[in-house]
Amino acid sequence: MVYGDDQCESTRERLVKRYLNLTKQVMPDMAREQGTDWPVVNDHCFQRIALDAVAGGVWYDHFARPAYKHLTESQAATAVALCERIINGSEDLTALNLQSLRWRGKLRQQITTGLVIGQLVVRAALTRAARL
């Protein structure tokens, strides 16, 4: 058998490769090219969201770095299945992202920033309209 042949790979290795392909290539490409309303477009964001969901919290509190090298077969399978559900629309990426941000203590900051930016945009638009 030839080294590097797919037949030599374990199920875990195949699942990890699939997870990496989905999060590094497929999902970012979909987010950029297909006009999805996904809240993220970068590969590391898809990885954060998937790994946090698999871990049930901030992934680096549960897995050594780099996480993909330390996933069990079951965890890798869960990550792949989650990514595939996101892709086919049966899993809500926005909700998963919000949960990930909540676990990280960043949700309140993001909402506050969004409200301030939103108020400034509205205020600027009203100011421009008042000048007309």
Q: What is the pLDDT of residues 7-22, one digit of tens each?
A: 789 999 999 999 999 9
Q: How far apart are CA 42 and CA 116, in angstroms?
A: 24
- Nearest CA to 43 among 25, 61, 65? 25
Find where tokens 């477009």 sit. Answer: 41
Centre a 10 Å sphere on the Cβ of residue 81 and count the other Cβ atoms it contains: 15
pTM of this prediction? 0.77
- Please give the Cα distance from 16 to 24 (Å, whole number): 12
pLDDT band, residue 119 (cuts 50/70/90): very low
| Average pLDDT for 89-96 | 96
CA 57 to CA 51: how far, in whole Å? 8
Contact partners, residue 110, CB within 8 Å, separation at least 6: 101
For the chain, what is the mean pLDDT? 84
In this prediction, residue 131 has a pLDDT band, given cuts at 50, 70 and 90, of: very low
